[in-house]
Structures are given as structure tokens and as C-alpha cells.
Structure 1
Amino acid sequence: MIRALSLGLALLPALALAHAGHDHATPMESAFVQETLLLPDIPVTDTQGRSAGFVSRYGDAGPVLISFIYTECEDNCSMVKAVMKLVDDDLQAAGAPPLRLIALSVDPWRDTPQSLAAAAAEIEASDNWDWLVASRADTPVLLSAFGLKPGPVEAHEAVYLLGDFRTGRFWRIPGVPEPQALIDHARQIAP
């Protein structure tokens, strides 16, 4: 997994160089698709084994950035984790917006709080980055509420949701966004 994350981190500078000399705001802004989500308060369990309703847990959190992963993924999850790690690192700086990071497992059959904790520790995720899993029965319902197909875990898309549970407004960001663009947009929606 370290090798896959290293590859993901190594590809990010190449992605940035590919856009050198271009207006970064234009492609990123067009990738943001705003929508209103009505999410069920399905129980999710964190790496400490604490369970709480997803909406209840983050209702007062302010801006959140949600990604979808599974611990045995070696394909697009590596890039998703790399983007989230860069955002996580940037949020440690003074003046960073109050953005909460969430990694939600799409594989409740194999992911446990312990395996999520190990994955978070492996990439040195900060305490501001929650790793969560819902039950096997609830995961498809939760993914559907996010507008994701609950099909085979190997077929899940690289997508991020940036928004606020208080308003229900979220921006869907597919693919590989620039971490700084995510932080800049979070700054715009922070209270």
C-alpha cells in the first residue's frame, strides 16, 4: 500500500506540471457540480470503534471533504488517498480553513475499524481526518444517498464531495482535483 500511495503522490506534481501556464481556477471550477443532498443518519463506525449517525456526527462540523475508499484498493484509491493526504497536510498550516476530512469505506465486507486505523496510520493521517465504515446493509443505502452506485467495490469512482451538512449543499468533484483548489473552495464555504 505504501508503494501505491507513493506512486499516487509522485503523480500529483506531474499533474500540476501538465497544467502549468494554464488558469487552474477555470478547469477546477467547471469540475465542481453543486447539488443538495438529503443524507440518512445511518450509523458509521470510526477507527476507535465509536458508532454514531453520519449526519449527527458531522451536522455542526462546518465544511467537510468526503472521499470514498477501501483499504485493499490499489487502483484509484491510491490517488484519492494522495490528494486527501496533501489536503490534510496543508490544513495543518496557520490560517487554513476549518475543513474536516472524511474517508468513507465502500467495502464493509472487509474493512473494519482496525483495518481503517492501520491504513490511516500508514499514511500518517492527522486527527482531522476521519476514516469510517457503515454496516454491510447500510453501505449501499448511504452510497446511493451520495449518488454513487453501490456496485462492486472495484468499480467505484474517484469522486469527492465538498460541502456542509447544515445546508445540505455539496459540490461533487470527480477525478483528480488539485488539493489547493479544494482548500480554496472550502475557504469560500466556511462560515
Structure 2
Amino acid sequence: MMITMCLLTHVFWGVPIDLGPRLVRPMRKAHVSESSEARPRIPAVDLLDEQGNSLNLVHDLLEDYTVVISFVFTRCTTICPPLGATTATVAQQLKDAGLEGVRCLSITVDPGYDTPARLLMWKRRFGDLDNWRLLTGPKRDVNGAIEAMGFLTADKIDHSPMLLIGNYRSGRWRRVDGLSPVPEIMKVIAEMSAGPKPEAVQKSGRNGAPSERMRKAAPRDAGDPPHPYFPDNVLTDHQGRELRFYSDLMKGKTVVIQTFFTSCSSVCPQVLSRFAYLQDRLGSRLGEEVVLLSITVDPEIDTPRHLAEFAKDWKCRDGWHLLSGSPDRVREVLRVLGLKADRKEAHSNVFLMGNARTGLWKKAFGLGQQEELHRILESVIADRGAP
């Protein structure tokens, strides 16, 4: 019981969490909407950046620039990591293109916790670029600024994944899905700037060469990435099949993702029993419409051959993949999903449920009631996307 309770402290909530379509829509094309031509009444408050510098939001950060603004918080493990990765890629491409009149800003929706030091540590996960500032400050001032931009929510968990792109002097602003393909975001930036035409800023690096950041994020195979966020690393399942994570396992399907390790004797068996229950409830849809992905956090020990024996105990049918592979590739997948743990015993007990056709993602507690987990999964399967 003590071990179980310790592991549960690494889960953020003890009940299923419905992130809803308003939070994670990674698969949809860029959704762009022009906001009112009237300039938002953004307050000229003094905020702190991740270096602890006091900067006036209007006079120092907005007046002389086209800006790309996102809203994040460092304790978030769902939408904020991909937003951070997207923002870092945009900032890198802006820098490569020499566009000094455009900058990226990320404003915390959790100013009571996100000190400059915490923001700096979070930012360094994606790259310490000088044209990307993270901002915090007194809660009243931060919330006032976020409210003026139209993004304030009662609960930080419900914050928007949209980017606000605009030019303060012209008063033109647009909202863009923060998980849109980067070239689509760059097009909007170019349209909102007085700078070069869109095609001049779409290239990934100087002379059209992909930047180092984009090369690292690209799949192992040559060619364009199949998805702007999810990795396409080749992993190996318990049947010895080498499968690309996004292209072979996720694309066009609904997926449920969880982590485990075979030597775990406390929480993992309970979590895996929920997966076995979902397998039974899915029936013939398993493997065709829905796939279950169990990723080991101990790939050095949990080799595909080891997983093959383990799968027999759980009676895994085709469509439930126990995944291992090169430790570096496994850890990269876990990192992008927000499931990487410093110690295997501290791995997450959260299920990620996503509809890769529509981009709807929900998160549920893996030790929750079986019927409730099934209900959440069915709601993800049934999603038809935005009208």
C-alpha cells in the first residue's frame, strides 16, 4: 500500500480528466480566425521574464514588434509541452530567417507558481532562444493581460492552445491553433508583419536547409515529418514487428497510451488489467479502429523477446502492442508524450486517449473505474471533429 501511494503522487489528479476538444487538436489543419480590427486594450503592466528582467508588456514587448503569444504553465504535462516545442521551432525559424521584428512570448496562466526560475528551467527543455520570452508577475497583472487578450479561464487546466499572432501598432490580430503545422503558423506571421512575403519565411533554415532543431525532431527515415508533433521513431512490439510510432500505430486511428515495466509488482498489474478490460470491450474494433499502446519505461530489460512472454500472461490480441526498442528512441517518444520519468518506479499512471483523425485528446487516471475509462474512450472514438 505504501508503494502504491508513493507512485500515485506522480499523478496530477485522482479522477478522469476530460481535456476536451478545446485543448488538444494536433491533427487538424491550421484554424485561423481574424479577431476584431479594434486594438485589444492590453494593459501596460510590468512583468518579469524568465531571466528576472522587469519589462513593460506594451512598451518593451509589443509596441515595436509582431508577436506570437502562447499561454502555458510549467506543471502542465498535456498541451503545454507540444506548445513549447512548436513555439521553439517557430522562434528558431524566425531567427534563421533574420526576422528581428518578430518575437515569441509565452505568458504563464499559473503566475503564483511559475517564478522566473521555473520558467527558465521549462524553456531550456526546448532551447534557450533570445527571441522567445516567457513572462510571469503579480497574479492580478498577469490575469489582467490575459483577460484583455481574450484568453483568461477560471481554471488553468482549461487554458487555450491557441496562439495570438498580431501587430500592436496596426491593431490586427489573429488566433491560430497552436498545434498547427509550423509552415502554416509562419504564413500567418508573414501576413501580420510588414516584413517579407510568406514564402520567404517558410524555409526551415538558411538556404532552405532544415535547422538542427528540425532535423532532431524529424523521423528516422528521410523525407518530411508525417506529423508536426508526434515522433515517428521506429519501435518494436512484442511480436518482433518494427513499427513507426505515428505512421504505423497512430495515423487514422484512436489510440490509448500508457506506460509500464514488466518487473513492477505494485501498480502496473492494476493498470494493465484496465487495458485488458478495454481490449475485451473493444471487440472487433481492436486493431482496426482502435489500438492500445503499452510503452515500457525499462527498455534495457524489457526487450521484445521478454515482452512476448509477458504478453501471453495478459492474453494480448492483435491491436494491443507492448512496445520497446532502442532506449534512446523509446525515451524520445515518452518525452514528447509527456510520459518520461527520471526513474521507472515514478512513471505516470495516466492514460492518454486520442483520436488521431480529429485531434481530440483526453486524459484519464489509469487506476480509475473500468467502466468510466471505457466511457471516456468511447467519447474519444465517437468524436467527429469540428463542424
TM-score range, shorter chain: 0.7 to 0.9
Q: Which one has the bigger helix percentage?
A: 1
Q: Quick one: distance in 2 between partners of 1:181 and 1:113?
A: 31
Q: Pick the aligned partner of 2:236 from 41, 45, 53.
A: 45
> Residue deviations 1:31-77, cap 9 Å, x none?
23353462111111011212121001124352111111111111211
Query: Which residue matches 2:291?
Result: 100
Tell me how far 1:126 sits from its aligned partner: 1.9
Query: Which residue matches 1:129?
Result: 320
Query: Which residue matches 2:373?
Result: 182
Q: Quick one: distance in 1 between partners of 2:266 and 2:340?
A: 18
Say if 1:66 and 1:101, in contact at 8 Å, map to a contact too: yes
Say if 1:58 and 1:165, in contact at 8 Å, map to a contact too: no
In our comparison, the structure showing a higher alpha carbon Rg is 2
Q: Quick one: distance in 1 between partners of 2:329 and 2:312?
A: 26
Gap change, CA 1:79 and 1:115, over 3 Å in 2: same
Gap change, CA 1:78 and 1:121, over 3 Å in 2: same
SS at match of 1:92: helix
Where relative contact order (Cα < 8 A, 6+ residues apart) is larger, the structure is 1
Q: Pick the aligned partner of 1:114 from 305, 311, 318.
A: 305
Gap change, CA 1:69 and 1:106, over 3 Å in 2: same
Say if 2:259 and 2:339, in contact at 8 Å, map to a contact too: no
Query: Which residue matches 1:170?
Result: 361
> Residue deviations 1:113-157, cap 9 Å, x none?
111111111121222211111311122211111112331111112
Gap change, CA 1:51 and 1:93, over 3 Å in 2: closer
Gap change, CA 1:174 and 1:182, over 3 Å in 2: closer
Say if 1:65 and 1:101, in contact at 8 Å, map to a contact too: yes
Say if 2:364 and 2:373, in contact at 8 Å, map to a contact too: no
Identity %: 29
TM-score, length-scaled by structure 2: 0.38
Q: Does 1:33 align with 2:3?
A: no
Q: CA RMSD in A?
A: 2.3
Say if 2:256 and 2:351, in contact at 8 Å, map to a contact too: yes
TM-score, length-scaled by structure 1: 0.74
